[in-house]
Amino acid sequence: MSLDDELRRRLQQAADQAGAGTDPAALTHQVTKQAAVGARPPFRLLGAIGAVGLVAGGALGFTALQPADDTNAGGFGATVNVQRYSMYDCPDGAAVGTVYPGDRVYVIGRNDAADWVEVRDPRDQTQQRWLPAVAVDPDAVRDVPVVPCNEEIALTPAGASTTTIETTTTSTVPETTTSTTIVETTVPTTVPATVPPTPPPTPAPDTQQPIVAQGTRSPAEIYDGSWSSYCDISSALTVVATDNVGVTQVTGSYAGLGGSPIGFVKGSGNTWTATFGPFVGLPGSYSQDIVISIVAKDAAGNTSTATTVTVHVWGTCLI
Amino acid sequence: MRRHDVQALATRPDSAAERRRAEIEVFLSQHSQRLVGALTLITGSRATAEDALQEALVKAWHRKDEPIEQLAAWITVVATNQARSGWRRSQAEQRALTKVGGRATRDAAPTAEPDDALHAALRALPERERQVAVMHYVLDQSVAQVAAALGVTDGTVKTLLSRARAHLAAQLGMTDEGDDR
């Protein structure tokens, strides 16, 4: 029996022993369940406040988000993008919470420049927060009404018979007038029709860390460059770095091989790129996973937590 | 799956999801033991292997344009990558720890290691060599299939395979005698 055949036989036997007792039905069930959780239905708001609808779910226990079966004029349900974002009480105001990738938020308005959106706090639907528009679908943002910060939108409490409340609010922004109409329920006399205004925002220093993610490297392994021109290659590194006020620097560091810091260069969008290698004159037996730790900094000096990419470096090259 | 079953599924509103589920069911009934075993050899943990396979299949679920049957190599790579991440490893360990004292952990029963020498030799391999060796020898994937799944050249796979083979042979005291390579 050849070496290959013998290795195949022993490895397959070991694998079958290691995998014995696997329950395909249970695995299928788990996969189906997880896949279903991943495909959440879109959401909508019911009722109407101007262009945005709400359903009251109690004095302050509102159930604003409902599974969608139609579209709603004005607002829209959105899933937070690939990273976490701080929520603010106003554009460029104080941070008041955080949303995470996959969170569903309901967008109810935007600022003039459409680079900030006002949303319902996914963990407390009674609260309005502001998010950078990049946190949701920026293209859809322009379809929601412009609302100034601290524009309080009436919430409809649960209760009683049907009536109509109409309020008209002229915003501080010229030419922007928001007509607000609620058609749903009567307001009990003991419950105010509107939420009291929140105090004006206090400017806060930027303490938000940048976020660096989606690190990639290609190729995943490089060789001693002295062997041939085929081997004399570097690995291209990319990361996506974001920050509320802007990333100013992305650097990579690693142990071994001299460990020279790697400076990343800003590419398109939030992408930063750098190269790792080539290396020459390594010992022939060298074979090491080099873990490159990448961090981003912003103008205020906040530093992100590191993301890592691993490149395997060989001291030889047989290709 | 019988023909009329497929036709029945096709008429249902959620037929796409049902069909995917059926595909995965068939795929797992045929390959789950070997795949879990292969991933256990790569990662060293049965619990991690099962979790990683599950995660990979969830990703495969959403690749609806590709038949699951053709995704064995892809699933192995995705699952291996899943298993590499530290959080997953620690999650699996955490779950295993919580089960101590209760019912048997998933690692306890099936991971008897009669071929200790082979397992030791595998553990001594660099991870990439181990991955390539298992994909080639255990899952019967060709050099080209492994290369495509890993996104590297055939030459890189050949190099890794050659090194893995030499390392395993040395560790296990095997010789090339009678080998045609």
**Distance of alpha carbon B89 from alpha carbon A34, whole angstroms:** 19
With bands split at pLDDT 50, 70 and 90, how would you rate the model's confidence at A62? very low
**Distance of alpha carbon B75 from alpha carbon A317, whole angstroms:** 29
| Interface test with chain A among B35, B57, B143, by most A beta carbons within 10 Å | B57
Comparing CB atoms, the residue among B34, B150, B175 nearest residue A15 is B34
- Asked if pLDDT for residue A151 goes beyond 70, the answer is no
- Asked if pLDDT for residue A139 goes beyond 50, the answer is yes
Q: How many helices (H) and strands (E) does chain B have?
A: 9, 0
Q: What is the mean pLDDT of residues A67-80?
A: 45
**Distance of alpha carbon B33 from alpha carbon B89, whole angstroms:** 20
- Asked if pLDDT for residue A154 goes beyond 80, the answer is no
- Asked if pLDDT for residue B119 goes beyond 60, the answer is yes
- Asked if pLDDT for residue A237 goes beyond 90, the answer is yes
Q: In degrees rounded to 5, what are phi and psi of residue A111? A: -85, 175
CB within 8 Å: B32 and A32: no
- Name which of A89-93, A163-167, A267-271, B81-85 the model is least confident about: A163-167
pLDDT at A76: 58
This model of the complex carries an ipTM of 0.76
In one-letter notation, the amino acid at residue A309 is V
pLDDT at A198: 63
- Asked if pLDDT for residue A110 goes beyond 50, the answer is yes
**Distance of alpha carbon A41 from alpha carbon A32, whole angstroms:** 16
pLDDT at A229: 66
pLDDT at B91: 47
Whole-model pTM? 0.40
With bands split at pLDDT 50, 70 and 90, how would you rate the model's confidence at A230? low
CB within 8 Å: B54 and A20: no
Chain B residues with beta carbon closer than 8 angstroms to that of A21: 109-110
Chain A residues with beta carbon closer than 8 angstroms to that of B131: none
- Asked if pLDDT for residue A261 goes beyond 50, the answer is yes
Counting every residue written for chain B, the total comes to 181
With bands split at pLDDT 50, 70 and 90, how would you rate the model's confidence at B70? low
- Name which of A15-24, B14-23, B90-99 the model is least confident about: B90-99
What letter would DSSP give residue A226?
T
Collect all residues from A whose CB is shorter than 8 A from any CB in B.
1-4, 6-8, 10-22, 24-25, 27-28, 30-32, 34-36, 38, 218-221, 287, 289, 312, 318-319
**Distance of alpha carbon A194 from alpha carbon B47, whole angstroms:** 53
- Asked if pLDDT for residue B100 goes beyond 60, the answer is no
Chain B residues with beta carbon closer than 8 angstroms to that of A311: none
pLDDT at A83: 61
CB within 8 Å: B179 and A220: no
Chain B residues with beta carbon closer than 8 angstroms to that of A22: 32-33, 36, 50, 110
Q: What is the mean pLDDT of residues A183-195?
A: 44
Comparing CB atoms, the residue among A13, A18, A24 nearest residue B111 is A18
Average pLDDT, chain A: 69
pLDDT at A150: 65
With bands split at pLDDT 50, 70 and 90, how would you rate the model's confidence at B140? confident
**Distance of alpha carbon A66 from alpha carbon A64, whole angstroms:** 6
CB within 8 Å: B175 and A3: yes
Strands A211-218 and A235-242: antiparallel
Q: What is the mean pLDDT of residues A19-34?
A: 82
Q: Which residue in this structure is represented by tokens 């928001």? A: A178
Cis peptide before A283 (omega within 30 of 0): no
Chain A residues with beta carbon closer than 8 angstroms to that of B174: 3, 6-7
Report which of residues A85 and A47 the model is more confident about: A85
- Name which of A210-224, A261-275, B11-25, B161-175 the model is least confident about: B11-25
With bands split at pLDDT 50, 70 and 90, how would you rate the model's confidence at A156? very low
Cα distance from A137 to chain B (closest Cα, Å)? 21
- Chain A residue with minimal CA distance to B34? A16
CA A64 remoteness from chain centre: 22
CB within 8 Å: A15 and B112: no
pLDDT at A211: 92
- Chain B residue with minimal CA distance to A3? B176
CB within 8 Å: A38 and B58: yes
CB-based burial label for B3 (10 Å; 0-12, 13-18, 19+): exposed
- Asked if pLDDT for residue B150 goes beyond 80, the answer is no
Is A298:A248 a contact under the CB 8 Å cutoff? yes
- Chain A residue with minimal CA distance to B122? A11
